[in-house]
């Protein structure tokens, strides 16, 4: 089926990515896991399942969902390797992580026991001042709070150990102090901070955990754990049904933002350099504008994904949820609104993308073009030849030229033109947007030329609206998005054993018109998601 048509760019892309993964220089390859729990990977079976740790966001979301609580002790920033946070390969523990986790656990535990309402929920009982009632509270604590944190029932050994510790600490300090320390212990445990899957098969709790961290960026709720325990998460249809429920829940918005902010590099807007725009670009731009633009894009991504849920809508929707800062930049009204149909379409024409791919005082067509190439088309650029000057051109005094003209001059030499044709050709399409993402009809009094072309898309285009529309219907973009989602879901690069289902998923994603929820249902019913390596499908 897939790959039989020579003109099918899509398959080539997936195969190229997968092939390069295999061919690149690897250290200790995480893809082969010898040992009792890691039998040989068959040609069609599940891919490797390296140990994953909760990301900083997953940790915070899980505790917020469980206890309705946030604290200010933060885990270290997540390393980004291979485009996404949470890559299993990047999660070797560090001194800093371990000490931050300890302080954070202490803060959460303190906050939980010092509020009687919360403590009642933690203990699942109303009365703990008398020794006679404490035993029942301990059972409630272990059966509910501890189980939810571990995302599975505790073993008898684990219960016995915690009970013994609670007894000892109650004698040494008092009952509430003992519960506080037990909470710290649970919050530091491997069963909470990591997602161990010792095998030989993936059990229901572990599958529930995979589902919720992928689709909610948080731990499973009671209903999901209950389905897992009652055997109602066994068939592929069960999993799809449960995933459908999770995707309909507001918590799925977190995953949509988490994936897209990383895939499209939208969070780059929050780097220090984007706290400033020159007065000539936007005299009112402050760090608050930077934050507002980020939030506007988050609302857009979450909103569009909750409603239309397609890649097309992400690239084409004019819907916007604006505050005063962003309304000013767009020249639109505050609130739930539609942006000007002649100026805006989708995420690539929003301030977060446009400003984060510009300099403080000027646009950079190659940076914008490179972002499209790298993120949406999965095409790695060829670096400039050694010694090449890549400084943006400056305007000679007295001589007016547009940014486009300056870059065309700069990259005219043969050594530059090859690659820059691809980058500039895409980036020029955004020349109607200045370094703050504001629409401009002219630049320095000169007319804007936003015509572009690129080898990746057949034919030329005029402006970002046409480019977005071309990208929205591009098979190459849809295949690229599939591999990005797979990487995000698996916490690692896909491996050759996954070619077959990944290609089939990409094909279905294209056929569905870029239906992201359908793609996620596909991913969660893939062999690599449902089983451990060596497990029969």
Partner 1 sequence: MNRRQMLRALGLGALVAPRFSFGQGQTPPKRVVFFVQPHGHVPSSWKMAIPNGPTTTFASRSLSTVTQAELSLVLQPLFPFRNKVLAVEGLAHTAVLEDIAYLHRNGGDANNHNVAVADLLTGNRAAQHPGFPCTGGAISIDQVLAQRTVGPGRFGSRVYGGDYVPNQVVAPFSFLGASQPTPVVKSPQAAFTDLLGAQPAPDVRSAKLERARLSVLDSVAEEYRAVAQRLGREGRQKLESHSALVRDLEVSLASQLSQPQCLPSLDASGHVTRQFMRLIRMAFACDLTRVMTFAAPVPPCSDFGYPAAHDVHATYAHSSVDGATSCGQAYTPVSERAMSDLSVWYGQHLAFLLAELDAVPEGDGTLLDHTVVVWLSELGTPTHRHHDAFTVLIGSGSGFFETGRYVRYPVLHDNPVSGDVNEWPRIGPAHNKLFVSLLQAMGQSDTAFGTTEATSRTGERISLTGPLTELHR
Site for partner 1 in 363-382 (CB under 8 A): 364, 367, 370-371, 374, 378, 380
Window 29-48: residues binding partner 1 (CB under 8 A): 30, 33-38
User: 329-353: buried (b, 16+ CB within 10 Å) or exposed (e) per residue?
Assistant: bbebeeeeeebeeebbbbbbbbbbb
Stretch that binds partner 1, among 294-302, 330-338, 340-348, 413-421 (CB under 8 A): 413-421
| Nearest in space to 208 (alpha carbons), one of 524, 536, 532 | 524
The DSSP code for 460 is E
Binding track, positions 511-530, relative to partner 1; x by CB under 8 A: --------------------
Q: What stretches of 310-413 show up as alpha helix (H) in DSSP?
A: 311-316, 324-330, 351-356, 365-371, 403-410
Q: Which of 143, 244, 318, 393 binds partner 1 (CB under 8 A)?
A: 393
Check the CA dihedral 456-458-461-464 and report its sign. Answer: negative
**Interface with partner 1 includes 25 (CB under 8 A)?**
yes
Window 249-268: residues binding partner 1 (CB under 8 A): 265, 268
Question: What is the Rg, in whole angstroms, of the alpha carbon atoms belonging to the chain?
Answer: 26
Phi and psi torsions of 487, nearest 5°: -65, -45
Q: At closest approach, how far in Å is the CB of 264 from partner 1?
A: 13
**Interface with partner 1 includes 306 (CB under 8 A)?**
no
Q: Which of 2, 15, 21, 504 binds partner 1 (CB under 8 A)?
A: 21
Closest to partner 1 by CB, 347 or 480: 480
Q: At closest approach, how far in Å is the CB of 307 from partner 1?
A: 30
- Structure-block tokens of residue 110: 């303190």
Strand, coil or helix: 44:
coil
Closest to partner 1 by CB, 303 or 366: 366
Closest to partner 1 by CB, 26 or 333: 26
Stretch that binds partner 1, among 119-127, 298-306, 412-420, 517-525 (CB under 8 A): 412-420
Phi and psi torsions of 89, nearest 5°: -60, -30
Closest to partner 1 by CB, 148 or 195: 195
Q: At closest approach, how far in Å is the CB of 342 from partner 1?
A: 29
Binding track, positions 63-102, relative to partner 1; x by CB under 8 A: ----------xx-xx-xxxxx---xxxxxxxxxxxxxx-x
Check the CA dihedral 26-28-30-33 and report its sign. Answer: positive
**Interface with partner 1 includes 446 (CB under 8 A)?**
no
DSSP string, 474-510: -HHHHHHHHHHHHHHHHTS---GGGHHHHHHHHHHHH
Q: At closest approach, how far in Å is the CB of 458 from partner 1?
A: 22
**Interface with partner 1 includes 9 (CB under 8 A)?**
no
Closest to partner 1 by CB, 273 or 340: 273
Q: At closest approach, how far in Å is the CB of 216 from partner 1?
A: 23
**Interface with partner 1 includes 12 (CB under 8 A)?**
no
Contacts of 187 (CB under 8 A, 6+ apart): 101, 104, 105, 108, 109, 149, 193
Cis peptide before 110 (omega within 30 of 0): no
Q: Which of 12, 15, 69, 188 binds partner 1 (CB under 8 A)?
A: 188
Contacts of 35 (CB under 8 A, 6+ apart): none
Task: Give the Cα separation of 351 and 277 in Å (integer).
Answer: 13
Closest to partner 1 by CB, 69 or 81: 81
**Interface with partner 1 includes 191 (CB under 8 A)?**
yes
Task: Give the Cα separation of 144 and 314 in Å (integer).
Answer: 40
Closest to partner 1 by CB, 336 or 409: 409
Binding track, positions 134-163, relative to partner 1; x by CB under 8 A: ---------------------------x--
Check the CA dihedral 100-105-110-115 and report its sign. Answer: positive
**Interface with partner 1 includes 385 (CB under 8 A)?**
yes
Task: Give the Cα separation of 101 and 128 in Å (integer).
Answer: 28
Counting residues that bind partner 1 (by CB under 8 A) gives 101
Task: Give the Cα separation of 3 and 245 in Å (integer).
Answer: 34
């Amino acid at each position: 089926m897939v790959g039989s048509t020579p003109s099918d760019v899509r398959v080539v892309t997936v195969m190229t990515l997968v092939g390069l993964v295999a061919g690149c220089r690897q250290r200790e390859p995480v893809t082969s896991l010898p040992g009792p729990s890691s039998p040989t990977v068959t040609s069609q079976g599940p891919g490797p399942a390296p140990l994953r740790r909760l990301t900083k966001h997953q940790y915070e979301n899980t505790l917020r969902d469980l206890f309705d609580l946030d604290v200010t002790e933060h885990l270290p920033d997540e390393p980004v390797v291979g485009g996404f946070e949470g890559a299993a390969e990047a999660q070797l523990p560090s001194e800093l992580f371990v000490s931050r986790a300890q302080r954070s656990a202490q803060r959460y535990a303190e906050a939980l026991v010092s509020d009687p309402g919360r403590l009642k929920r933690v203990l699942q009982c109303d009365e703990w001042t008398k020794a006679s009632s404490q035993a029942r509270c301990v059972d409630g604590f272990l059966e509910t709070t501890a189980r939810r944190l571990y995302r599975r029932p505790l073993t008898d050994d684990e219960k016995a150990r915690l009970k013994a510790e609670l007894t000892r600490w109650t004698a040494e300090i008092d009952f509430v102090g003992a519960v506080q320390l037990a909470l710290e212990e649970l919050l530091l445990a491997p069963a909470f901070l990591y997602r161990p899957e010792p095998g030989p098969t993936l059990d229901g709790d572990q599958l529930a955990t995979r589902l919720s961290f992928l689709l909610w960026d948080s731990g499973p709720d009671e209903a999901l754990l209950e389905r897992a325990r009652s055997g109602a998460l066994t068939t592929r249809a069960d999993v799809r049904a449960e995933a459908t429920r999770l995707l309909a829940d507001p918590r799925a918005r977190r995953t949509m933002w988490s994936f897209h902010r990383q895939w499209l590099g939208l969070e780059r807007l929050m780097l220090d350099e984007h706290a400033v725009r020159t007065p000539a670009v936007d005299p009112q731009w402050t760090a608050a504008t930077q934050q507002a633009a980020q939030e506007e894009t988050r609302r857009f991504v979450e909103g569009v994904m909750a409603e239309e849920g397609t890649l097309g809508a992400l690239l084409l929707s004019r819907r916007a949820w604006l505050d005063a800062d962003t309304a000013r930049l767009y020249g639109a009204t505050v609130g739930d609104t539609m942006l000007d149909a002649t100026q805006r379409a989708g995420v690539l024409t929003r301030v977060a993308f446009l400003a984060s791919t510009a300099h403080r005082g000027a646009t950079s067509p190659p940076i914008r073009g490179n972002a499209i190439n790298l993120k949406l088309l999965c095409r790695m650029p060829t670096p400039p030849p050694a010694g090449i000057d890549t400084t943006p051109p400056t305007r000679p005094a007295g001589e007016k030229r547009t940014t486009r003209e300056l870059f065309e001059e700069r990259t005219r030499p043969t050594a530059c033109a090859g690659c820059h044709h691809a980058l500039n050709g895409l980036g020029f399409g955004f020349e109607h947007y200045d370094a703050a993402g504001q629409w401009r009809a002219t630049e320095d009094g000169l007319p804007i030329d936003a015509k572009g072309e690129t080898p990746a898309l057949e034919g030329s285009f005029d402006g970002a609206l046409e480019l977005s529309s071309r990208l929205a219907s591009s098979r190459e973009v849809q295949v690229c998005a599939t591999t990005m989602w797979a990487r995000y879901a698996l916490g690692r690069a896909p491996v050759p054993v996954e070619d077959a289902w990944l290609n089939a998923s990409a094909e279905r994603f294209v056929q569905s018109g870029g239906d992201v929820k359908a793609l996620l249902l596909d991913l969660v019913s893939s062999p690599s998601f449902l089983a451990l390596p060596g497990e029969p499908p």
